[in-house]
Amino acid sequence: MRESGADFPHKRVAYLVLILLFLVLFLIPVRAWFTAHGGRWLYIFLFSASLSGLLVPPVRILAQRAGVLDIPDPRKQHGSATPLLGGVALFVAFCLSLLANSIFSRDLLDILLGSALLVAVGVADDLRPVPAGLKLAAQLAAAILAMSGGLTLEVLPPALGGWAWAANGLLTLLWIIGITNAMNFFDGMDGLAAGLGAITALFLGVLAYQNQEPVLGWVAAATMGSCLGFLPYNFRPGRPASIFLGDSGAAFLGFVLATLAVKGDWAADNPVVALTAPLLVFGIFIYDMIYITLDRIRSGRVRSLKGWIEYVGRDHLHHRLEALFGRRSQSVLLIYGMSVCLGLAATVLRRADTRDALMLITQGVIILLIVTILEREGNRRLRERGVKPGGAPGSCPGDAPGRRV
């Protein structure tokens, strides 16, 4: 994809600035200064963001030369062939920013290995569509790998014995696979998945700071940095994206964020807060998945688990908001805003008593009810235009993740 002549000098200067920043960060005194002043998280964020921004252009060229492109068709929103594989830049920046800063543990290794598996399957899918069952099996394997080091939800108390262990394990699997696919669902408009990934990572990092969990905060900073380094290439209001995350990027982001939520000890002394805080941070993802699932079952468009996995539709939150506002960028920014509102509620919830916690939860529910009203209006406008919100069965779980549907 060629850039305009007027933009090229500015892009070259910005790229040189990124190179300079990355080289400066490699200086030992610079890293020592950040560490000494309690800014290790900022150092990791800058390292990840600058490296991600530097990697995107060569990855984009590689995708173009290898023909790894998302070709437009009538059901897709972009108008020209666009390189995929953006997720590779995110994954490499994320991993190197942690390893270069000596952040390593057994459970983090399991998360990295699970992420690598999903990125590999995603790249294969970008090259040639992978069957839905195989992709779901890879997600299941990655989730089990992450859980092998003891990474599980503790919703039911250990006093219940084996039943608690089995139920908590099942809930962990459903959470990780559900959020992974939910992120895939949102990779349908320029900047949406990467932006939501950055916002979610930000609030997970804030919660980690509140709970004095530095390692979790550092991993969240690396995730947020990799997203923001990629975002200028993917979200350019008024112009199309120059590269997409691809299946590898959406699956990677969803998996890492889901496992971070499980890894965090959000409020050991208040189970209501511990359970609700991550639900608010991930509220947009959870809401969209529940809404479209119930709507598809109610309308008869989905009648089985296989049908749900393979279904491809234009009935997600961002599609309906686009129908309401008429502009994709406005839809993306509104979803950003809703995610920030729910994330702020989660950060305040951490220090709230039970009564205040219930009020904040109620506020979150009201926000989602407002979203429902907006969605229904968008759906009505789609019907007036003769556009069906549903689609046809496809070959990928989660509404053809990584595809611009």
Same domain, 256 and 299: no
Domain membership flag for residue 403: no
Same domain, 284 and 148: no
Asked whether residue 395 carries a pLDDT value surpassing 70, the answer given is no
Of 154-158, 184-188, 259-263, 386-390, highest mean pLDDT: 259-263
Greater confidence, 9 or 383?
383
List, for residues 283-319, the tens digit of each pLDDT value: 889 888 888 888 788 877 777 766 666 666 676 788 7
High-pLDDT (> 70) share of the chain, %: 85
How many beta carbons lie within 10 A of that of residue 161, not counting itself? Answer: 10
User: How many domains is the chain built from?
Assistant: 2
Asked whether residue 84 carries a pLDDT value surpassing 50, the answer given is yes
Q: Which of 330, 374, 341, 399 is nearest to 192 (CA)?
A: 330
Cα 275 from chain centroid (whole Å): 20
Q: Which residue has the tokens 């992978």?
A: 130
Handedness of CA 274, 184, 399, 338 (dihedral sign): positive
User: Which are the contacts of 288, defined by CB distance < 8 A and separation ≥ 6?
Assistant: 182, 185, 186, 316, 317
Same domain, 12 and 67: yes
pTM (two decimals): 0.87
Q: What HEC string does 348-403 produce?
A: HHCCCCHHHHHHHHHHHHHHHHHHHHHHHHHHHHHHHCCCCCCCCECCCCCCCCCC
Asked whether residue 403 carries a pLDDT value surpassing 50, the answer given is no
Same domain, 77 and 214: yes
* 3-state SS assignment for residue 209: helix
Same domain, 146 and 273: no
- The predicted pLDDT at position 1 comes to 43
Tokens linked to 153: 């939800």
Same domain, 216 and 272: no
Give the burial string for 381-397 (b: 16+ CB within 10 Å, else e). bbeeeeeebbbeebbbb
Same domain, 184 and 277: no
Same domain, 5 and 26: yes
Same domain, 245 and 139: yes
Mean pLDDT, the chain, integer: 83
Domain membership flag for residue 400: no
Structural domain harbouring 286: 268-389
Same domain, 149 and 287: no
List, for residues 20-41, the tens digit of each pLDDT value: 988 898 888 888 899 888 889 9
Same domain, 202 and 273: no
- Predicted confidence band at 75 (pLDDT cuts at 50, 70, 90)? low
List, for residues 214-266, the tens digit of each pLDDT value: 999 999 999 999 999 999 999 988 788 899 998 899 999 999 999 999 987 76
List, for residues 110-132, the tens digit of each pLDDT value: 999 999 999 999 999 888 888 88
